[in-house]
Structure 1
Amino acid sequence: MSGTGRAARAETERRLETARRGAELLDRKQQILRIAIGNRAESSEQSLRRFHAAAARAARWLGRSLALDGLGPIREAVPDTLAEADIRWGGAMGIAYPEGAAVTLPHRMPSTGSSALAYAAAANREALAAAVVHAADERALLLLSRELAATRTRQRAVEHRWIPKLEADLERILRSLAEQELEESLRLRWAAGAI
């Protein structure tokens, strides 16, 4: 802000107050993001455990089916359509992130093979659904963590650059106003003494 008058002082004080309020809001945003990250991290850990358990069951049943049926019936059981992931988006503090996920799987059960193949198909469906949920949880965690880092950077910039710069500008303006008032006072005294 250029200038040293009262208008410059008022404008600099306004900008300084805005910067201080902005730093407070950024700090509050970080607190909210930390809570959201904590919740998401817990959810991600749970979904990862569910995925690992489901994947282990799927591998076990697939191994049994392979041993009993061979590769032919397993290949025939592969659906001809793809699974579809449905990601439910939500957010906090202006950040969009996945809040939940579901998967729509083609409904095709094996027509040949042993009961182990039917169990393997069901277990693989469960593992895929668990993987989609975990992927959504991880994506949410990543997006929230990125936003936390960006918010932290913005807050540091406001606190360590903008506020000190505005405080220095305000100090300079106040000094200049004090000098102007002193000069005006001296002129008035000289004028009064000259009469």
Structure 2
Amino acid sequence: MSGSGRAARAEVERRLETARRGAELLDRKQQILRIAISNRKEKAEQSRLAWEQAARNAALWLSRTLAMDGLGRVHGAVPDSYAKAGIVWGGAMGIRYPEGASVTLPAPVPPAGSSALAFAAAAHREALAAAVIHAADARALLLVSRELAETRTRQRAVENRWIPRLEAELERIQRSLAEQELEESLRLRWAAGAV
């Protein structure tokens, strides 16, 4: 038996075992990601509902304010600075995604109008905070879902291309080694018979 043939067989067997182990790990990762997606979907759905409710409430108070105070007073209640969104990044399984969000709002402008104007400003502040939280939750869901799709693709590539190629290569090497062994056996018999 050829030494280089045995070495090639050992190398292909090692690579094949690595590929099979990789496919198992990718399958386990998919299971974990499916659970994470389920949790993220629920969280994103809850934050979406909270945001939609807060937006409806803000729209209601805005319409009341416009009816009572007019557009001029609404424009006068706009703060001079902007709100700032803060995203808390975290992750798992090699994915980085938002784990939480917060909003730093500018100081409210003292209302120069009816009490509806104060309620409208507060409702819009709540809606903005809810929108930022939902955006972070939706982004996390998107990133984890993308990772699941990429993991599926990698697993299929390993199982449907890499492993079959290695198995075929191993089979070819084993046939070649068996042929070499047979030839060597025949040569030894002929040599023994010729003596």
Q: TM-score range by the shorter chain?
A: over 0.9
> 5+ unaligned residues in a row in structure 2: which ranges?
none
TM-score by length of 1: 0.96
1:179 match? 179
Question: Number of residues paired by the alignment?
Answer: 193
Structure 1 unmatched runs, 5+: none
Task: Give the Å deviation of 1:109.
Answer: 3.0
Distance in structure 1 (CA, Å) of the matches to 2:183 and 2:4: 14
* C-alpha distance in 1 between matches for 2:37 and 2:85: 23
Identical positions, percent? 77
1:159 corresponds in structure 2 to 159
Q: Partner of 1:143 in structure 2?
A: 143
After the TM superposition, list the runs of 4 or more consecutive aligned residues in structure 1 that deviate by more than 2 angstroms: none
Could you tell me whether the CA contact under 8 Å between 2:54 and 2:123 is conserved in 1?
yes
Q: How many Å separate the matches in 1 of 2:80 and 2:184?
A: 90
User: How many angstroms apart in 2 are the aligned matches of 1:80 and 1:9?
Assistant: 73
Tell me the distance in 1 between the aligned counterparts of 2:140 and 2:65.
Answer: 36
Q: CA RMSD in A?
A: 1.2
Instruction: State the Cα deviation string for residues 86-116 of structure 1 (Å, max 9, x = none).
Output: 0111111101011111111101233311111
1:63-74 matches, within 5 Å, as: 63-74=63-74
Give me the TM-score of the superposition, normalised by structure 2.
0.96
Deviations 1:34-73 (A, max 9, x none): 1111111000100011001101111111111111111111
On the 8 A contact 2:111/2:117 being kept in 1, the answer is no
Contact 1:4 1:173 in 2 (8 A): no
| Shift of residue 193, structure 1, vs aligned partner | 1.4
